[in-house]
Amino acid sequence: MEYKKETIAIEGSWNMSSWEWKFESIALIRKVFEAMKEGKLIANKCPGCGMVYFMPKPYCRCLSEPDEFVEIKDTATVTTYTFTGSWAYEGISDEEVSGTPLIFAGIVFDGSNTMTVANIEGVEPDQVSVGMRVKLKWPDKVEGTLNDLARCVPL
C-alpha cells in the first residue's frame, strides 16, 4: 500500500440549528447504554419506513418518529474506514507517534440501517476492507458510555 503525505481538506459546513434535535437524542442514547449494561444492543425503529437507527434518533428521515426499540446484533459490516500513522505527520517518526496505526471505521451493526464509528483492533490497515465483517469487542465491565462501543475485532 502506498501512503500519501499531502493533507486533504474537504470543504463543508455544519447546520448548528440542529442542537435541539441532538439534545433530544440524549434520552434515547441513555436507553442504549442501559441495555448495554444487560449485554444487549438496541436501536429504534421507524413505524413509517422501517429504518432502524443505531444510535437511536428522535425523528426519521421520512419525518415519522421511531417509537419502537428493537434488539440488534453486535456483529457489523465495515462501510468505510481510515487510519492514522506517523506518515500523516511530516517530520515525525513512527517511534514518536506509535508503531501501530489506529483504524477508524464506519460500521453498520446487523439489524440496523445506520452507521456508527469504532476502532478496529487486531489487524493491519491493509487487511481492512469495505464489506469486512467485525464484532463489537465488549469491555470487561460495561460502563454505559460511548467508550463501550469504541472497539471492534474482525469476525
Binding site for Zn ion (CB under 5 A): 46, 48-49, 51, 60, 62, 64
CB of 53 or CB of 81, closer to Zn ion: 53
Listed in sequence order, the DSSP H helices in the chain are 19-37, 94-97
Chain CA centroid to CA 136, Å: 10
Shortest distance, CB of residue 70 to Zn ion, whole angstroms?
A: 14
Shortest distance, CB of residue 59 to Zn ion, whole angstroms?
A: 9
Shortest distance, CB of residue 91 to Zn ion, whole angstroms?
A: 49
Q: Which residues, other chains included, contact 88 with Cβ-Cβ below 8 Å and sequence gap of 6+? A: 5
CB of 48 or CB of 154, closer to Zn ion: 48
Which cell numbers in the block locate residue 139? 469491555
Which cell numbers in the block locate residue 9? 481538506
Cell 449485554 maps to which residue?
Answer: 39
Contact present, 135 and 76 (Cβ < 8 Å) = yes
Q: Which residues, other chains included, contact 34 with Cβ-Cβ below 8 Å and sequence gap of 6+? A: 144
CB of 42 or CB of 46, closer to Zn ion: 46
Shortest distance, CB of residue 72 to Zn ion, whole angstroms?
A: 17
CB of 53 or CB of 109, closer to Zn ion: 53
CB of 60 or CB of 132, closer to Zn ion: 60
Shortest distance, CB of residue 127 to Zn ion, whole angstroms?
A: 36
